[in-house]
Amino acid sequence: MDNSVRSPAHTRARILKAATEVFAQDGLQGATTREIARVAGVNEVTIFRHFSSKEQLLGAVIEQATALQAQSLAHQDEWTQNLNIDLAHYAHLYNHMLESHEALIRTFIGEAHRHPEAYRQVLLEAAQPLREKLITYLRNGQKRGTVREDVALEPAIDLFSSMLLGGMLRRTGAKSALGYSSQLYIEMCVDVFVRGISPVCTSTLDYDSTF
């Protein structure tokens, strides 16, 4: 069980890894802190030293899953401010997160209609900081003139994220090859999205050579 030489950070990481596995396998309602403790190799009391409730643990799992994108968006001054380049970079990070946590995401979707309000709030709050940072990037784009001023940023971000999510679910759920690569799909998502929000066409794809 608990090993006294483990650092708190190491123990926390083990708990989060175990929680990700158990939430994906047993669902939000079915997952128990007892099972998470067993998979993590700690006792249940240790979990509650790090997380006050199962809901808080779920929030931490989501925050960890989106950490790469959040870290990237935290330094927007280092971005190129070119929509195609920056959003392609973000889309690849986001797609990597989706593919790495496919089982957990499918669990969230499958249980969406059964989530108690407390869990729904956790999911929304954990994902909100990342969404806000991407909205800030596009709002700055409106100030620079690279994003149309009439674009409603919140639904635009949801649309972009949904395209990437839908692509991952289709690729991983398909019984046969789709006839195109994930790379091409991501490029198309970025291209279509940027075309939709830009004052002028800024496509970087050569459609004649792509298809």
In a domain, 77, yes or no: yes
In a domain, 116, yes or no: yes
Low-confidence ranges of the chain (pLDDT < 50): 1-4, 207, 209-211
In a domain, 207, yes or no: no
High-pLDDT (> 70) share of the chain, %: 88
One domain for residues 85 and 141: yes
Burial readout 66-105 (b: 16 or more C-beta within 10 A, e: otherwise): beebbebbeeeeebeeebbebbbbbbbbbbebbeebbebb
Check residue 205 and give its pLDDT.
Answer: 55
> Can you give the residue range of the structural domain that contains 37?
8-53
Check residue 70 and give its pLDDT.
Answer: 76
One domain for residues 128 and 46: no
In a domain, 109, yes or no: yes
- CATH number of the domain within which 27 lies: 1.10.10.60
One domain for residues 94 and 46: no
One domain for residues 187 and 90: yes
Check residue 136 and give its pLDDT.
Answer: 92
Check residue 118 and give its pLDDT.
Answer: 64
Check residue 211 and give its pLDDT.
Answer: 43
Check residue 201 and give its pLDDT.
Answer: 61
One domain for residues 138 and 43: no
Check residue 11 and give its pLDDT.
Answer: 94
* pTM for the model: 0.77
One domain for residues 46 and 71: no
Residue 152, both tokens = 């409603």
Check residue 120 and give its pLDDT.
Answer: 72
One domain for residues 130 and 83: yes
In a domain, 196, yes or no: yes
- CATH number of the domain within which 157 lies: 1.10.357.10
One domain for residues 70 and 20: no
Q: What is the pLDDT of residues 59-68, one digit of tens each?
A: 899 888 888 7
